[in-house]
Amino acid sequence: MSTGKVWLVGAGPGDPAFLTLRGREVLDQAETVVYDRLVSEEILLTLPPKVRLINAGKVPHHHPLPQEEINRLLIGEARKGRRVVRLKGGDPFLFGRGGEELLALRDAGIPVEAVPGISSALAVPAGAGIPVTHRGLSSGLHIISWHGREDGPPGPEVLRGLTSVGGTLVILMGGSELGEISHHLIQEGFSPDVPAAIITGGTTPRQRVFRTLLGSLGKAEPEENNGPLFPGRAPVLVVIGPVCSLGYQMPVDRVYTEESAEPFISLKGARMVVTRPEPTNAETCGKIHALGGVPIPFPCVRIRPVSGWGSSWRETLGSSQWLVFTSAKGVNYFFNGFLSSGGDLRFFAERKFAAVGTATAEALAGWGFIPDCMPPVFNGTQLGLALIEQMSPGEEALLIRSQVSEKGLDRILKERAIPFRELVVYETLPAEGSSIARDIIGEGRFDFVLFFSPSAVPVFAAACSGQGVKALCIGTATAVRAKGFGMETYTPAEASFEGLCRLAVELISRNASPKTDERFPIP
Q: Where are the alpha helices (DSSP H) in 149-215?
A: 156-165, 178-187
Alpha-carbon span 333 to 337, nearest angstrom: 6
Q: Do β-strands 420-430 and 301-305 pair in parallel, antiparallel, or remain unpaired?
A: antiparallel
Estimate the crossing angle of helix 408-415 against helix 380-390, to 10 degrees: 30
By three-state DSSP, how is residue 46 classified?
Answer: coil
Alpha-carbon span 406 to 474, nearest angstrom: 12
Q: Contact, 324 vs 398, CB < 8 A? A: yes
Phi–psi pair at 416, nearest 5 degrees:
-95, 10
Rounded to whole angstroms, what are the CA distances from 341 to 59, 234, 432, 441? 59, 55, 32, 43
Q: Do β-strands 420-430 and 448-451 pair in parallel, antiparallel, or remain unpaired?
A: unpaired
Q: Contact, 138 vs 163, CB < 8 A? A: no
Among candidate residues 5, 15, 36, 91, the one labeled active-site is 36
Estimate the crossing angle of helix 156-165 against helix 178-187, to 10 degrees: 70
Q: Contact, 239 vs 264, CB < 8 A? A: no
Estimate the crossing angle of helix 98-107 against helix 67-79, to 10 degrees: 50
The yes-or-no answer on residue 50 being catalytic is: no
Q: How far is CA 368 from the centre of its chain?
A: 34
Half-sphere exposure of 134 (CA within 13 A, CB side): 16
First-last CA distance in the chain: 66
DSSP state of 247: T
The yes-or-no answer on residue 58 being catalytic is: yes
Neighbouring residues of 76: CB distance < 8 A, sequence distance ≥ 6 = none
418 CB burial (10 A radius; 0-12, 13-18, 19+): middle
For every residue of 417-443, DSSP letters joined together read T--EEEEEEEEEEE----HHHHHHHHT
Alpha-carbon span 88 to 149, nearest angstrom: 17
Alpha-carbon span 373 to 310, nearest angstrom: 25
DSSP state of 306: P
Neighbouring residues of 463: CB distance < 8 A, sequence distance ≥ 6 = 298, 433, 438, 441, 442
Task: Single out the residue of 129, 240, 249, 143 nearest to residue 193, CA to CA.
Answer: 240
Among candidate residues 91, 173, 287, 391, the one labeled active-site is 173
The yes-or-no answer on residue 219 being catalytic is: no
Known catalytic residues are 36, 58, 173
